[in-house]
Structure 1
Amino acid sequence: MSEQGRLKELLSYQILDTSPEKQLDEIAEIASIAFDVPMVLISFLDDSRQWFKAKVGVVSDSFPTEASLCKLTIQKPDNVFIIEDATKDERTRNHFLVVEGPKLRFYAGIPLITPRGHAIGTLCLMDVKARKFTDKQIRLLHILAEGIMSYLNGRKTILKQKRNIELNAEKLKQLTDQAPGIIFQLEVSPKGKVSFPFLSKGVHTIDPGMNVRILKKDIGGLKKLIYKKDFPLLVNSLKESAENMQDLNIEFRINVKGKITWHLCMAKPEKKEDGTITWFGTFQDITSRVEYENTIEQISFDISHMLRRPVTTLLGLSSIIENDENLDAKKLKEYSGYIHSVSDELDKFTRKLNETYIKKSEMIKKIKG
């Protein structure tokens, strides 16, 4: 295993320079009690230091690598490294920690091995007295090291999942911000407090100057924009949706500096255990659709109103011609003149109607633009 690969693996655990964690502190304490040693370290070695994640009987937070005994431990990751009397071992008798410092005599260290086989750190026991180490104690040291790695691997998985969740949440936010209209999450607490835990950037299409951060906590800014006559209808619809847990579907107007636009709100309610009602839904600007519907309605009215008289006249002439037993060429010519006159009136009306609605169509296009 290369040193570069080992360091990369160590960094993947995101453990260096992190705060103490109860689970590892407890393992260090258990080791101190079980082996009856005054000093225990759970440490990790990078390219320049041995950093202590959990410790018993040690004041400092790290040692330079050259002052570390644990560097000898990770060099042989398949073995437990034991020195029963450091003053008699050629590898350690001149070591700083033996000659000076705490004047160590006993050292037992076991590498912390990742699933890929990299030794990223150690669990080590130290004493200022020389001592023997039994096979049962070696087995217990293995069990504690396995417990540490089990915790670290679980911790790594959680951090990875958290990161994936954060990335997915960021991607989702980017998508919702680009979605047409407004995507929202509205909450009403049992005490009646109303808030928007989530609002997409589409809210700026209503009012570019709206402060989304403030709006999430205080919906008063949005309330002021809702057309006064429509607000009670919106409130009643929310109440009905909450009481019956039915989907919300309501059209209402918004007034921004005198410009009135129509919006459609569609949302599905959910009730939490604490009684909070949450709606997940959308606001969509439907001004163009409303304008279109109004135009079609006006066209229908205009056609019905303007065509009523000439059509009635034609029907009357048709009835007269049909029932006139003394119809001759002179009368037929007279009736033909009437029919021509009414037809000419209808032609002028349809031409004028066409011109009028071409202009209205252009106005709608400008509204959409």
Structure 2
Amino acid sequence: MDESSRLNDLYDHEILDTNPEENFDELTQLASLICGMPISLVSLIDKDRQWFKSVYGIELKETLRSDGFCHYLLDGKSSLFEIKDANNDPRFKHSPLVEGNPYISYYAGAPIKSASGNVLGALCVIDRKPNSLNDNQKQALQILARKATNYLNTRKALLDQQKNIELNATRLKQILDNTPGVIFQLRIQKDFEISFDFISKGIKEIHPDLTYENMKANPISFLNYIHSEDVDGFRKSMRRSVTSLSSYKYSFRILLTGDKTKWYKVRATPKRMDDGAVVWFGTLMDVSGIMEYETILEQITFDISHVIRKPLTTLLALNNTLRNHDELSETDLREYADMIDIVIKELDVFTRKIDQFYQLKVADHHNRT
């Protein structure tokens, strides 16, 4: 027997010094009733003690390991360990548990094992006088011990599963908290009372006064930071999304210190829950740079429609002139060539400006990423 491995196995079950559990208490009660014994225990063997997960018929929490009986099952060789009269057994007659309370005379125990096969303890029945079990009672005690084994291993599997869920939830939260922008789950009740089920820590990047705690405690206060010209549209579009369960998109400005603002876009997918509430699964992203580019692009579009009109008009006129004249003098050709050269230069200046804008856009993108 590898005692170190066995103890590690026991500790991995995280059961020592835990509260009573009904499954184990029912087993000790059944064991006493079936075997006709006044005392029954689910005993788990620690390094220096035996601790009782369940106790029936006696007031006892634990004893010294060396004083007990259950540790004789730890080698895993026996399916039942029985002492018919401890007062006449040299191994036990001087034990404090035999000479004193609870005055053990009879003991029978069946091993409780881990999934890996280590004996962690025993389900045992005890009498204060010499006694014995018949074959059916011995078989029943072993069956109940296997039930205790199943409960123990199922309990550990559930604990492991819970740990994995908590670990994955923690990892997911860390990922979400480190994702650019804000990720949230917003619950909207029938009366339009709102609350955040979850909101990532990115909320603090939007405004110095916005924190995770503030948004959880008073989510409606977020409206106080939206530009007054955008609040009404935000509210109306939000209600439309909740009513129609349509995907939500809205761009708005957040008021910063002074007259400064930043553009944000919220996107959310609504889902109606069984209680009638609508839950939004969404994101909130800083789109100030995009809005600036859109403004510049609008200006470029305007420039294209106006600035390029002159060279295009000139080119069309030259093309028409050249088509309608079969013979042109050298002077005419030079004049037309000069005019074409002017148009080319104007177009070149304009295209260079456009190229400079895109180069700035690319550089800005690299700096942001």
- Same-fold status (TM-score > 0.5): yes
Q: Which structure 2 residue ranges, 5 or more long, are not aligned?
A: none
Give the Å deviation of 1:76: 4.9
Of the structure 1 ranges 176-185 and 148-157, higher mean CA displacement relative to structure 2 is found in 176-185
Aligned to 2:289: 288
Query: In structure 2, do the counterparts of structure 1 residues 320 and 89 end up closer, same or farther at CA, with 3 Å as the change threshold?
Result: closer
Whole-angstrom CA distance in 2 between matches of 1:39 and 1:287: 75
Give the Å deviation of 1:77: 4.6
1:209-249 CA deviation, whole Å, 9 max, x = no partner? 53212312321342222222222222222222222222222
Whole-angstrom CA distance in 2 between matches of 1:170 and 1:99: 53
Whole-angstrom CA distance in 1 between matches of 2:262 and 2:128: 82
Aligned to 2:96: 96
Aligned to 1:299: 300
Q: Residue 180 of structure 2 aligns to which amino acid in structure 1? A: P
Aligned to 2:270: 269
Whole-angstrom CA distance in 2 between matches of 1:121 and 1:157: 18
The count of residues paired between Structure 1 and Structure 2 equals: 366
Maintained 8 Å contact 2:251/2:263: yes
Q: Residue 118 of structure 2 aligns to which amino acid in structure 1? A: H
SS at match of 2:274: coil
Whole-angstrom CA distance in 1 between matches of 2:253 and 2:188: 22
Give the Å deviation of 1:344: 4.9
Indicate the percent of aligned positions where both proteins have the same amino acid: 33
Q: Residue 263 of structure 1 aligns to which amino acid in structure 2? A: Y
Query: In structure 2, do the counterparts of structure 1 residues 139 and 303 end up closer, same or farther at CA, with 3 Å as the change threshold?
Result: same
Q: Residue 260 of structure 1 aligns to which amino acid in structure 2? A: T
Aligned to 1:164: 164
Write out aligned runs for 1:139-150 (5 A). 139-150=139-150
Q: Which structure 1 residue ranges, 5 or more long, are not aligned?
A: none
Whole-angstrom CA distance in 2 between matches of 1:172 and 1:307: 53
Query: In structure 2, do the counterparts of structure 1 residues 190 and 64 end up closer, same or farther at CA, with 3 Å as the change threshold?
Result: farther
Query: In structure 2, do the counterparts of structure 1 residues 346 and 230 end up closer, same or farther at CA, with 3 Å as the change threshold?
Result: farther
Query: In structure 2, do the counterparts of structure 1 residues 343 and 105 end up closer, same or farther at CA, with 3 Å as the change threshold?
Result: same
Give the Å deviation of 1:336: 4.7
Whole-angstrom CA distance in 1 between matches of 2:154 and 2:207: 47
Please state if 1:198 is matched with 2:198: yes
Aligned to 2:41: 41
Maintained 8 Å contact 2:311/2:346: no
1:15-42 CA deviation, whole Å, 9 max, x = no partner? 1111211211222222233333222111
Write out aligned runs for 1:94-133 (5 A). 94-133=94-133
Query: In structure 2, do the counterparts of structure 1 residues 347 and 56 end up closer, same or farther at CA, with 3 Å as the change threshold?
Result: same
RMSD of Structure 2 on Structure 1 (CA): 3.2
Whole-angstrom CA distance in 1 between matches of 2:86 and 2:328: 141
Aligned to 1:27: 27
Query: In structure 2, do the counterparts of structure 1 residues 92 and 191 end up closer, same or farther at CA, with 3 Å as the change threshold?
Result: farther
Give the Å deviation of 1:112: 0.5
Give the Å deviation of 1:317: 8.0
Give the Å deviation of 1:357: 8.1
TM-score by length of 1: 0.86
Whole-angstrom CA distance in 2 between matches of 1:90 and 1:311: 117
Whole-angstrom CA distance in 2 between matches of 1:176 and 1:82: 58
Of the structure 1 ranges 47-56 and 34-43, higher mean CA displacement relative to structure 2 is found in 34-43
SS at match of 1:242: helix
Query: In structure 2, do the counterparts of structure 1 residues 291 and 365 end up closer, same or farther at CA, with 3 Å as the change threshold?
Result: farther
TM-score by length of 2: 0.86
Aligned to 1:189: 189
Maintained 8 Å contact 1:106/1:129: yes
Whole-angstrom CA distance in 2 between matches of 1:230 and 1:361: 32
Give the Å deviation of 1:319: 7.0
Whole-angstrom CA distance in 1 between matches of 2:242 and 2:220: 20
Whole-angstrom CA distance in 2 between matches of 1:357 and 1:328: 37
Aligned to 1:61: 61
Give the Å deviation of 1:110: 1.2
Aligned to 2:225: 225
SS at match of 2:27: helix
Aligned to 1:9: 9
Aligned to 1:212: 212
Aligned to 1:236: 236
